[in-house]
Amino acid sequence: MRTIEFSSRPTFRDPILVAAFRGWNDGGSAATVAAAFLKNRCNAERFALIDPDRFIDYQQTRPMVSIEDGHVRSIAWPETEFFHARLPNSERDLLLVIGAEPNFRWREFSHAISELATEMGVKLGVTLGGLLADTPHTRAIPVSGAAHDPELLERFDLEPVRYEGPTGIVGVLHDDLAKAGIPSASLWAAVPHYLGGNPNPTAALALVNALEPLVECELTPTELEAASAAFDRQIARVVAKDAEMRSYVTDLEDRLDSGDDYDEDDEDEDGDADDDDLTSEADLPTGDEIAAELQEFLREQRDDS
């Protein structure tokens, strides 16, 4: 049984693979929101998928039930989907992969993707990720780009990969792409940890902007810019209502201004910034408290609408 099921066989022109996976690698949903933007921006068409039954633990990644037309129930399974698109104003195509990080059979899952990349003639792979960090939402979202390939390091001014420790499916995929002779790079957006429970369009926008030089075309993320501006306004309103939140954000700003920046090497085994690096002042709110306050505000906004 082949791991990937095809509905069509598109012809690719010198394609670039871009992959994003929900879960451990996707703080603030930055990667998958950015990938969803790419899918819509490029009018991508699905041509294949990986059935989740052999790879996903449904008690951890549950299918979603929705109601259509008031009575028809629809179940969306956590499939890994493959899309084909023409990059705007470019002679190259996009092979877009969007899915959930698998719970089982990582090697089979990753090998199937790298095998498809080889079959379709991919010459460059890029993974998108979001990690939770002690960075304030009032500053630009930091994006780090890393690669092993010397040519990519020089061509796109990336950093050599230095991280050692537990990895997600993107780390396994990079290893398989390297074995297949396909150079690859990773882009990681540092998402404010106290907003990690909410989809963060500002972090997604930062990833899309960082991706543009690698795909060598302008993606014009107008929709993400608008969503980011609205999201930032909502956060500002939440923070303005709470003195402890304002104090906490100010503390993060002061640390950043003093040069105590977030270091990718401080990432712990959960993919978050090391808890020892976060402020320990007893009078500051926890990330969960701030996230709960933001979620309550967003619920109020939805109710008002």
Q: Is the pLDDT at 248 greater than 60, yes or no?
A: yes
Average pLDDT over residues 279-302: 47
Pairing outcome for strands 4-6 and 80-86: unpaired
Kindly state whether residue 293 falls inside one of the protein's structural domains: no
* 304 confidence band (pLDDT: 50, 70, 90): low
The predicted pLDDT at position 302 comes to 52
In a domain, 40, yes or no: yes
Across the chain, mean pLDDT equals 86
pLDDT one-digit tens code per residue, 8-48: 999 999 999 999 999 999 999 999 999 999 999 999 999 99
Model pLDDT, residue 178 = 95
Is a pLDDT exceeding 60 seen at residue 289? no
Domains contained in the chain, number = 1
How many angstroms separate the Cα of 260 from the Cα of each of 13, 26, 254, 290?
44, 24, 9, 22
pLDDT mean over 185-193: 95
| Average pLDDT over every residue of 248-259 | 85
Dist. CA 252–CA 230, nearest whole Å: 22
In a domain, 186, yes or no: yes
First to last CA, the chain: 48
| 142: in domain | yes
| Residue 26 lies inside a defined structural domain of this protein | yes
Tell me which residue range forms the domain holding 137: 11-228
Q: What is the CATH number of the domain that holds 210?
A: 3.40.50.10900
Distance, in Å, from the CA atom of 198 to the CA atom of 141, rounded to the nearest integer, reads: 15
Q: Say yes or no to pLDDT of 162 above 50.
A: yes
What whole-number percentage of the chain has pLDDT above 70?
A: 84
Task: Say what the pLDDT of residue 277 is.
Answer: 38
Q: Which two tokens stand for residue 96?
A: 């877009």
pLDDT score of 153 more than 60: yes
Region 156-181 average pLDDT = 93
Q: How confident is the model at residue 66 (pLDDT cuts 50, 70, 90)?
A: confident
Tokens standing for 255? Answer: 């640390």
Q: Taking residues 200-227, report their average pLDDT.
A: 95
Q: What is the model's pLDDT at position 195?
A: 84
pLDDT tens column, 108-151: 999 999 999 999 999 999 999 999 998 899 999 999 999 999 99
Res 300: pLDDT: 56
Q: What is the predicted pLDDT for the residue at 146?
A: 94
The reply to whether 246 falls in a domain is no
Kindly state whether residue 140 falls inside one of the protein's structural domains. Answer: yes
Residue 261: per-residue pLDDT: 53
Q: Is residue 244 part of a domain?
A: no
C-alpha 45/C-alpha 118 separation (Å) is 20
Among 175, 169, 126, 130, which residue's Cα sits nearest to residue 271?
130
* Share above pLDDT 90 across residues of the chain, in percent, rounded to a whole number: 63
